[in-house]
């Protein structure tokens, strides 16, 4: 009886772990904020493949070695947030655009060119003062040798308003931009669920053993 109960509990835990992991494994959630009132989050799906949209060589035509580059795109962003009194949400749009300069970096470095990690999204929201938010982008510009291929994980940013910035577009054709303050990875929900279910399973096993032990001694 004891072995049967233990096996059953372990089977329940394994099924629960597998279900929660398969349900949430592909989601990568980030939050972002600025000092000018933009705040929100976006979710990337790491099962969406990157595709090459552009590649070639950047060269000055002189003695410096040409710099090869590859540009990648993954269309998998879900985004929502606020900008002051404005709210917005959406999916699709430009997607995640990654530019990677590759060695030798001579020509790119001579012209101060660099890699980038840019998220662009089309959004919508309630109209306020005759306009609503229609687009939001997050930009990371880096040195030419800071990326090694495409990734859904953004590289450590260069914290200044020129290389780490946001762009907000409005329905009346106006736009606003500025420096981005934070871009933070949120622990995936599956990990938290697995930890919680694991703890519950341990407690259940402990209680079961205690009951079986007390029955055996009585």
- Same domain for 166 and 59, yes or no, is yes
- Please state, in angstroms and rounded to a whole number, the distance separating the CA atoms of residues 67 and 143: 13
Q: Are residues 71 and 148 in the same domain?
A: yes
Residues 6+ apart with CB under 8 A from 174: 131
Same domain, 4 and 106: no
CA distance 144 to 154: 15
In this structure, the answer to whether residues 78 and 167 fall within a common structural domain is yes
Expressed as residue numbers, the domain containing 90 is 28-186
pLDDT at position 191, please?
Answer: 44
- Nearest residue to 183 via CA among 202, 203, 207, 157: 157
Q: Are 5 and 96 within one domain? A: no
Is residue 170 domain-shared with residue 208, that is, in the same domain? no
Residue pLDDT tens, the chain, 218 long: 555 444 444 444 444 434 444 344 467 788 888 877 788 887 877 778 899 999 999 998 888 999 999 999 998 667 888 888 999 898 778 889 999 999 999 999 999 999 999 999 899 999 999 999 999 899 999 999 999 999 988 889 998 889 999 899 999 999 999 888 888 878 755 444 444 444 444 454 445 545 545 555 55
108 and 193 share one domain: no
- Rounded CA gap, 181 and 124, in Å? 23
**160 and 212 part of one domain:** no
113 and 213 assigned to the same domain: no
pLDDT of residue 67: 96
Judge if 192 and 212 occupy the same domain. yes
- Residue 73 and residue 47 share a domain: yes
For position 190, what pLDDT does the model report?
A: 47
Q: Could you give the number of structural domains in the chain?
A: 2
pLDDT of residue 55: 97
Instruction: Say yes or no: 175 and 76 in one domain.
Output: yes
Opening angle at CA 186, ends 185 and 187, nearest 5: 115
Give the span between the Cα atoms of 154 and 157, in whole angstroms: 8
Which pLDDT score is estimated for 16? Answer: 43
Give the pLDDT score at 38.
80
67 within 8 A of 104, measured Cβ to Cβ: yes
């Amino acid at each position: 009886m004891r072995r049967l109960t233990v096996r059953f509990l372990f089977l329940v835990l394994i099924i629960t772990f597998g279900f929660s992991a398969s349900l949430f494994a592909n989601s990568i959630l980030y939050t972002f904020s600025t000092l000018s009132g933009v705040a929100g989050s976006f979710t990337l799906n790491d099962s969406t493949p990157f595709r090459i949209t552009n590649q070639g060589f950047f060269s000055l035509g002189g003695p410096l070695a040409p710099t090869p580059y590859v540009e990648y795109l993954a269309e998998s962003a879900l985004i929502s947030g606020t900008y002051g009194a404005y709210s917005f949400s959406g999916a699709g749009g430009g997607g995640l655009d990654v530019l990677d300069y590759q060695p030798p970096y001579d020509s790119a470095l001579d012209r101060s060119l660099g890699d980038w990690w840019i998220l662009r999204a089309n959004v919508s929201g309630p109209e306020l003062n005759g306009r609503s938010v229609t687009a939001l982008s997050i930009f990371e510009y880096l040195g030419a040798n800071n990326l090694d291929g495409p990734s859904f994980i953004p590289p450590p940013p260069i914290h200044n308003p020129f290389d780490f910035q946001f762009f907000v577009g409005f329905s009346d054709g106006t736009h606003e931009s500025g420096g981005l303050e934070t871009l933070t990875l949120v622990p995936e929900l599956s990990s938290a669920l697995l930890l919680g279910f694991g703890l519950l399973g341990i407690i259940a096993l402990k209680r079961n053993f205690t009951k079986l032990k007390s029955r055996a001694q009585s």
